[in-house]
Amino acid sequence: MPNISNRALHMPPSPVRKLVPFALQAKQKGIKVYHLNIGQPDIETPETALNALKNIDLKVLEYALSEGNIEYRKALTEYYHSLGFSDLTPDNFIVTNGGSEALNFAISTLCDEGDEVIIPEPYYANYNGFTSTFDVNVVAVPSTIDTGFALPPIEEFEKKITEKTRAIVICNPGNPTGYLYTREELQKLSEIALKYDIVIISDEVYREYVYDGKQQISMLDFPELSENCIIIDSESKRYSMCGVRIGCMVTRSQKIRNAAMLFAQARLSPVLLGQIAATAAHQNDGPYIRAVREEYTHRRNVLVDLLNAIPGVICPKPRGAFYCVAELPVDDTEKFAQWLLEKYSLNNETIMVAPAGGFYSNPELGKKQVRIAYVLKEEDLKKSAEILKEALKKYREEFSL
């Protein structure tokens, strides 16, 4: 038998996907599973993108440029100009195979083995996987559900900085909590980054989907960070086209961009067909974005109100993205989530949730929490909430809680 690397042995499993085998078994038994565990929207992809794929007139599906084809990078430039960043040019973008590869490029560009990145938690679970791949250590700054997962005091970030700190990673608006950073918070993070000459990696893939009249503030709004900022972006959630695997890394720093290009060249190129679809999606996308934002606002309101009406459930109302974290009256949400798929159904239906332990550096902090994605239509969210309500009663009775 071949040896397996320590890196593979210590790779953390995805809290979003590791219960998939149990969901498949439930479906094989004829049970309908409502997937609240993953950010795969049921919103339709823009017709412009679909039509661009249908109407491809190419004789050869060739390699794209390592940095991304110029047509798509021009579309990205125009998009960022519309956000107010008129200084950006196509050379500020490296197109990647999803936002995930952009994060990998950012971490591998900035960090060596044993270096550290500071991340407020709970955080997107795959940050653990990206850092683990490069033997980089996550230093967490915890937030709590009783404050709506408000950003911890900025001073707590400064306390965590050591000679090995290379970056602070934020997600704005946040996955899994939906937290939306204020300008004041970002200003303080900017000041810390400059003081210690570290980089802010700002994951902004959900920037379009903020609610209640709020507006997302980008780290690009702080030009003093020109050498100390990387933006992570993706088309997956913006246009409900997760399968195209197109994202980008954005930076004003020529030094960072040149270093990241070495990794881009090593993996050859981003997906050609995905760039064609994404380029088309950016054309006259205003009505689409507004309609989707309105739909997510409605779904959020429906789901969060229903969750908070269930005895013992606590769920702060998110201000962005399309996730919420809820605390449940159970002993262990890993156990509960598996039980839902293995042993429970209501009218031959059940739900799949993501245990929140995997979104923390210390899983115990999320032991009674789940992340729920409100990416399903209203009718399905209402059914899901009813299933959860009845399942909690049954589970608490069964395990004498």
Phi, psi of 352 (to 5 degrees): -120, 120
Q: Tell me the backbone φ, ψ of residue 93, rounded to 5 degrees.
A: -115, 135
Residue 77 belongs to what domain range?
A: 59-281
Per-residue pLDDT band at 401 (split at 50, 70, 90): confident
Domain of 143, CATH number, reads 3.40.640.10
pLDDT at 265 over 80: yes
- Mean pLDDT to the nearest integer, 39-67: 96
Say what the pTM is: 0.95
- Within 8 A by CB and 6+ apart from 260, the residues are 94, 105, 106, 109, 249, 251
- 197 and 318 housed in the same domain: no
The mean predicted confidence, pLDDT, of the chain is 96
Q: Side chain identity at 128, as an amino acid letter?
A: N
Q: Which one has a higher pLDDT value, 19 or 253?
A: 253
**pLDDT tens track for 218-237:** 999 999 999 999 999 999 99
Point out the least confidently predicted range of 9-13, 95-99, 274-278, 328-332: 9-13
The yes-or-no verdict on residue 283 having pLDDT over 70 is: yes
In a domain, 51, yes or no: no
Number of separate domains in the chain = 2
Residue 216 and residue 343 in one domain: no
Of 249, 281, 313, the residue that ends a domain is 281
Given a cut of 90, whether residue 5 has pLDDT beyond it is: no
Give the mean model confidence (pLDDT) for residues 91-97.
98
pLDDT value at 16 more than 70 = no
